[in-house]
Amino acid sequence: MELIKQRGGLASLAHSSEYLKPLILHSLILGVMANTTTPPSQHVPTTSQLDLIAIMTELYGDGIYPILLCPPYLFIDVIKINNLRFQTTSAPITETTRATADEILEHIEAFSPDDWTGTNPDAREDWLLLGRMYKCSIALYCISSLQSLSILPSSKYYTAMRTVHGNHLYSLLPKITRRTRIRHFTIWPLVVAGMQAVDASPNVRRIVDEQLSELSKIMGCPTPTLAKAIFRRFWTSGQTGWDECFDKANVLWTGLAGLITYLIVISVYRLFSHPLRNIPGPKLAAVTHLYEWYYDLFLGGKYLFEIEGMHERYGPIVRINAREIHINDPKYYDEIYASGTHRRNKDAEFVSFTGLLLSSASTTDHDLHRYRRGLMNNFFSKKSVRGISYFVEEKVHNLMQRFEAFYRCNKVVRLDDAFAAMTSDVITHYCYGKSWDYLDYANLRTDVRKAVHDLTCSVHFNRIFPIFLAVLKKLPLQWLYAIHPGRSVVLDIQKTIYEQSAEAIHGDKYKIGHNDAVDKHKTIYDQLTDPSIPAEERSLQRLQDEGLLLVSAGTETTARALTTACFHIASDDQVRTRLREELRTVLPTPTSSVTWSELEKLPYLTGTVNESLRLGGFLTTRSPRIAPDEPLTYKEYTIPPGTPVSSSSYFGHKNPNIFPEPEKFSPERWISAGRNNDHLFKYITSFSRGSRICAGMNLAFLELYMTLAYFVRRFDVELVDTTVEDMKIVRDMRVGFTHRGEPTVYGRIVRVYED
């Protein structure tokens, strides 16, 4: 509360930010109502009780508030009653005290529900019932609670008044509970009725009990059920006083009030004292993560586009949640995702969604990541990849054979699934020494892709509630089969990788399978289980996590880029013709052979590869980096060490200042850039940048060049039920989702070239 005092108190705080007013009002209402059912010595310390009147008069307005539709005139009386009760804990009861109690009661009796309803012309009958209900309830609270402390006497006058108001309240409650628009707001009047029912007939008690049960269902909260338990005990106790019924603090009301108070305090800190308080952005996003969660969890991956809107309103740097900054400036990308000379950690709160916490991609610490990445650098170096390019070419030729078979039977094929089957075969062969041979199945198995899809569909839930994934990981696979029979494909892949990991630890190795020098090519397990590596880095869980990461990343990103390229090439005769003419220079016949080195020298093909990465081969998720040792400076803003900072590839790849007509697939832009000595590729961040650049980048390039060259040289595709709208990214689920989910391209092979 000291922080609130420093900001000038609740009233000053409410005026300082529109976003805090609902929280403050909610907190005060809960605090006041909690005190009505709490012994005076244990009242919730909202603020000075009588000071509340001025604040509430301003904030409460006409009393239209979601948790309590009490007329402000009467709500002020509740505050005064609470204050009078609280005074008895530190001062004796005097005639002045009793006179004040009578004045409060007279003020309540003077309230006219008809006059109050006149200020709320809509749904007049509803407002009239509410006004009458709260007048009876507050009058009963005033008499009963003050009699319980001997401030008011137990005279016939007050007994008669209690009886009149009690009977009126009992008659009103059934009418109100039948009115769907206002029945949610009867919880406190029902609490008053429950206490008064100690002197009523069993029938009245039964009605109160039933209405509390019904209200619990309507509200979807346990407060009415808790009240029922209190009243059942009280009705049979032989006691009749207010403070005998509510003889201890109501944990629920008090807890809610405490929670709201905490939210106010943390909101004040985030708005006015947090190190990021000067960074532009919506105040609501700075106050609470619920803003982000609403877009990503409730709307399903829409926060990326809300961030885009923030940049349009606030500029290139925005505070997108309580602790993270997003910068939309491609020229600053290399400062965020810096090279190894600058330490950059990953954000621990952002990597948990994968569940692969021991994989290199999820390693938060800069130095540990550098060590783990170093174990695989040679494995994925351009020299190593080039040395085994022949088996990638074999997988590509297998795919071409499948396309020829589809042509002969005139079959419509999902091209994205075909490319994913091929990339799965490549990455499993490359990492484990044996392919899973998805291309050999009649329907082109895409199990890895299904596993990735399963993960991405729950990515935001897993990020927000990482405990769920952590619990699942601890369960045996056979249990997961029973719990999630629909995820059997995903679990089969996990089981395969786990088994290969276990075999590797026990010394079994796999080889590429060719009797030449490259037979010495090591698998990923050879790299990661070398005896020179510390034991904790050779654990089974570590191998499993790294294996799942490599297989999923090695399948999906490259397949998406190929799918994007295929769609645009099939859609644009000019692009297709020009690319095919260029390919004829190195592939004189469709069945000729060509090397990766030769293909890299073709400018139009290189432009096609780059465009496929720009428009389809990237992660839409932001991947925050933390500079633990140094502040970052962007324009006039200083970003403190330890702050998560991100920059989404989605914005950089579609920046019209760098890529004019950014939605257009234009290999020509890369040729023009080359002539002008513009280094456009530095703005392609499909593989990230800096010390954490994707290890499999070279393998991906080999697949892209080889597949596009052989595919375009040999086939013409007619798109089926696929338009540019079907390729538009509309959700960020770590990877981009279209309205169909995964980018999906249906096509029919309509021509196979022989020359």
* Residue indicated by tokens 């609670």: 145
Distance linking the first and last C-alpha atoms of the chain: 81
Listed residue (426, 432, 433) closest to 703, CA to CA:
426
Listed residue (85, 75, 73, 95) closest to 37, CA to CA:
85
Q: Which two tokens stand for residue 407?
A: 């042509």
Backbone angles phi, psi at 716, to 5 degrees: -110, 135
Known binder of ligand: residue 142? no
HEC readout, 643-710 = CEEECCHHHHHCCCCCCCCCCCCCCHHHHHHHHCCCCHHHHCCCCCCHHHCCCCHHHHHHHHHHHHHH
148-155 long-range CB contacts below 8 Å, 24 or more apart? 148/241, 148/242, 148/243, 148/244, 149/40, 149/85, 149/88, 149/93, 149/243, 150/93, 151/84, 151/85, 151/88, 151/93, 151/97, 151/98, 151/101, 152/98, 152/101, 152/102, 152/105
Give the DSSP H/E element, type plus range, for residue 206.
Answer: helix 202-219
Give the DSSP H/E element, type plus range, for residue 345.
Answer: strand 345-346
Judged by phi (left if over 0) then psi (alpha if -120 to 50, else beta), residue 207 lies in alpha
Contact 595, 692 (CB under 8 A): no
Q: Which two tokens stand for residue 674?
A: 């080359």
Listed residue (305, 274, 309, 304) closest to 288, CA to CA:
274
Full strand arrangement of the beta sheet holding 345-346: 317-319, 325-327, 644-646, 625-626, 345-346
3-class DSSP state of 562: helix
At 427, the amino acid letter reads I
* C-alpha dist (Å) from residue 286 to 6, 90, 154, 275, 318: 20, 42, 54, 11, 10
Beta bridge partners, 632, equal 639
Judged by phi (left if over 0) then psi (alpha if -120 to 50, else beta), residue 8 lies in left
* C-alpha dist (Å) from residue 105 to 127, 585, 589: 22, 98, 100
Q: How is residue 523 annotated by DSSP?
A: P
* C-alpha dist (Å) from residue 123 to 117, 174, 176, 415: 9, 18, 13, 59
HEC readout, 212-257 = HHHHHHHHCCCHHHHHHHHHHHHHCCCCCCHHHHCCCCCHHHHHHH
Report how far residue 282's alpha carbon sits from residue 27's, in angstroms, rounded to the nearest whole number. Answer: 23
Report how far residue 275's alpha carbon sits from residue 346's, in angstroms, rounded to the nearest whole number. Answer: 20
HSE at residue 201, side-chain half, CA atoms within 13 A, is: 5
Q: How is residue 741 annotated by DSSP?
A: B
Q: Which two tokens stand for residue 263?
A: 């939210």
Known binding positions for heme: 694
Known binding positions: 694
